[in-house]
């Protein structure tokens, strides 16, 4: 991580801080070819914002180390330049937001692909009470040659669909680069993604924080550069996808945990019932499947522990509300209960192993006729150990507090 969005920086190259309502921020890396068009377009948008809403503004170029003269060109065209040392799309925008003066922040690329006059209506939505207003190229216009077919028909729809499934965002275009957000809403999100995943992070955390997110049409045009874009579809698509899973404990850990535990328990139950004679006919699940079931249950249990840990971490970081179920049983979620519960499961597993040892002795130490009881006892001991050790991990994640759910994160 390369820093988080804070208030406006006090160190600007333009002397005294000006109080403005709207800042249009563009990340820039060697964009001298397209900057004249983009800055002029942004300035026209600001004129329309002032005429319609009575709000003044500024154009901020968040320069990410350009060596083609973009900085001097931008200043000569009336924009203010904020130099951002940390590299990456997200890092540049975070630096630009921190250096901007406005209470309303508009972000858009410096390659000529977006029409900043579309942001006039977005600022009107913020004035109306919205926290974040997203542009949607799919509700607006995608001009010929503006978006590769794999982005238009595969990448964006798939990633947006997954994001909506995981986080219930309800938007049509999660990766549109033209957006407007209130500064106070931005501070709540604690954005820190340095790369292209910054776009997903903003939408995800806004959804988790239950902010008022709205969407308006946006136009995408072919960019004005003669060189290849900074975007790398497969690499950046993977960065977005992995970020979706990292911020969704339920899908990354919870769903696999439930499937593994339920399936493993079902296999062991069927095997045990057949062994006890309660189920006739040929055994569908025998010793071999019982071993697989033990693996599934222990793996599912540790995945469930990871879900709780990552959920509580998100709550502690301030971008996720506490799950109501965890809040309801919060008094039982502490280190002592984890150690006691884990210890009891370990003890039960050891008693089971001792009983199996007696059975083995009675068989004259011959090979056991079935491994099902052994798998059950070993699995119980394993998940008991994981529960005890997981309790220590959860206490550390909770700020070295024995209570995993505290009054502070209940109210987050």
| 196 — pLDDT class (breaks 50, 70, 90) | confident
How many domains does the chain divide into? Answer: 2
* Residue 281 pLDDT > 60: yes
pLDDT at 277: 75
Q: What is the pLDDT of residues 397-410, one digit of tens each?
A: 888 888 888 765 55
The answer to whether residue 387 is domain-embedded is yes
pLDDT at 280: 66
The answer to whether residue 61 is domain-embedded is yes
Rounded mean pLDDT of 31-40? 96
Edge-to-edge strands, sheet with 213-220: 80-83, 57-63, 22-28, 104-107, 179-182, 132-142, 213-220
What is the percent of the chain with per-residue pLDDT over 70, rounded to a whole number? 91
**Same-domain check for residues 53 and 135:** yes
Among residues 223, 246, 269, the one where a domain terminates is 246
The answer to whether residue 9 is domain-embedded is no
Q: Greater confidence, 345 or 10?
A: 345
* Residue 344 pLDDT > 90: yes
402/239 Cα distance (integer angstroms): 35
pLDDT at 14: 44
| 13 — pLDDT class (breaks 50, 70, 90) | very low
Contact 205, 243 (CB under 8 A): no
- Closest CA relative to residue 7, chosen from 101, 145, 138: 101
**Same-domain check for residues 98 and 190:** yes
pLDDT at 285: 81
Among residues 178, 211, 246, the one where a domain terminates is 246
pLDDT at 148: 84
Ranges of beta strands (E only) in 11-119 are 22-28, 57-63, 80-83, 104-107
**Same-domain check for residues 47 and 195:** yes
Rounded mean pLDDT of 188-214? 91
Q: What is the CATH number of the domain that holds 190?
A: 3.90.550.10
Q: Which of 97-106, 185-194, 258-267, 273-282 has the lowest mean pLDDT?
A: 273-282
pLDDT at 231: 60
**Same-domain check for residues 208 and 320:** no
Q: Which domain holds residue 373?
A: 249-410
**Same-domain check for residues 225 and 275:** no
pLDDT at 283: 67
**Same-domain check for residues 129 and 229:** yes
**Same-domain check for residues 291 and 225:** no
Highest mean pLDDT among 126-135, 189-198, 242-251: 126-135
Among residues 246, 269, 291, the one where a domain terminates is 246
* Residue 203 pLDDT > 70: yes
**Same-domain check for residues 193 and 60:** yes
**Same-domain check for residues 288 and 196:** no
| 173 — pLDDT class (breaks 50, 70, 90) | very high
**Same-domain check for residues 88 and 205:** yes
| 236 — pLDDT class (breaks 50, 70, 90) | confident
**Same-domain check for residues 126 and 183:** yes
Q: 331: which residues sit within 8 A by CB, 6+ positions away?
A: none
Question: What's the mean per-residue pLDDT of the chain?
Answer: 89
* Residue 10 pLDDT > 50: no
230/233 Cα distance (integer angstroms): 10
pLDDT at 232: 64
* Residue 27 pLDDT > 50: yes
The answer to whether residue 2 is domain-embedded is no
pLDDT at 282: 67
181/389 Cα distance (integer angstroms): 42
157/176 Cα distance (integer angstroms): 12
What global pTM score does this model have?
Answer: 0.77
**Same-domain check for residues 216 and 277:** no
* Residue 8 pLDDT > 80: no
Give DSSP secondary structure letters for 266-303.
Answer: HHHHHHHHHHTTSS-SS-SS-HHHHHHHHHHHHHHHHH
The answer to whether residue 35 is domain-embedded is yes
* Residue 9 pLDDT > 50: no
Q: What is the pLDDT of residues 64-100, one digit of tens each?
A: 999 999 999 999 999 999 999 999 999 999 999 999 9
Q: Greater confidence, 147 or 230?
A: 147
* Residue 393 pLDDT > 60: yes
Rounded mean pLDDT of 194-220? 93
């Amino acid at each position: 991580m390369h820093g988080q969005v804070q208030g406006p920086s006090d160190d600007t190259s333009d002397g005294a801080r000006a109080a403005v309502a709207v800042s249009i921020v563009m990340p820039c890396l060697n964009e001298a070819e397209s900057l004249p068009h983009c800055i002029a377009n942004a300035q026209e948008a600001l004129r329309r914002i002032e005429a319609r809403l009575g709000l003044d503004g500024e154009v901020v170029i968040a320069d990410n180390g350009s060596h083609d003269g973009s900085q001097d060109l931008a200043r000569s065209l009336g924009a203010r330049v904020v130099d951002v040392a940390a590299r990456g799309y997200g890092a540049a925008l975070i630096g630009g937001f921190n250096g901007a003066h406005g209470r309303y922040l508009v972000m858009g690329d410096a390659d000529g692909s977006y029409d900043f006059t579309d942001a006039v209506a977005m600022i009107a939505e913020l004035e109306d009470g919205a926290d974040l207003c997203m542009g949607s190229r799919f509700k607006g216009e995608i001009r010929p040659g503006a978006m590769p077919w794999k982005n238009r028909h595969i990448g964006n729809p798939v990633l947006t669909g997954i994001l909506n499934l995981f986080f219930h965002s309800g938007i049509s275009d999660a990766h549109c680069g033209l957006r407007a957000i209130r500064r106070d809403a931005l501070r709540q999100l604690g954005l820190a993604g340095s790369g292209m995943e910054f776009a997903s992070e903003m939408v995800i955390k806004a959804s988790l924080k239950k902010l008022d997110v709205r969407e308006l049409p946006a136009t995408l045009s072919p960019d004005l550069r003669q060189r290849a874009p900074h975007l790398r579809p497969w690499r950046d698509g993977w960065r977005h996808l992995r970020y979706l899973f990292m911020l969704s404990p339920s899908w990354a850990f919870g769903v696999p945990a439930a499937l593994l535990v339920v399936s493993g328990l079902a296999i062991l139950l069927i095997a045990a019932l057949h062994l006890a004679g309660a189920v006739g006919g040929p055994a569908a699940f025998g010793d071999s499947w019982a071993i697989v079931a033990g693996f599934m249950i222990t793996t599912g249990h540790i995945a469930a522990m990871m879900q709780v840990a990552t959920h509580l971490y998100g709550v502690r970081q301030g971008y996720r509300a506490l799950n109501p179920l965890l809040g309801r049983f919060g008094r039982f979620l502490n280190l002592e209960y984890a150690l006691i519960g884990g210890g009891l499961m370990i003890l039960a597993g050891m008693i089971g192993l001792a009983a199996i040892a007696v059975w083995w002795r009675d068989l004259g130490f011959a090979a056991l006729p079935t491994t099902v009881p052994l798998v059950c006892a070993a699995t119980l001991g394993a998940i008991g150990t994981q529960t005890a050790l997981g309790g220590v991990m959860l206490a550390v994640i909770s700020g070295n507090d024995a209570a995993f759910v505290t009054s502070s994160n209940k109210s987050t």
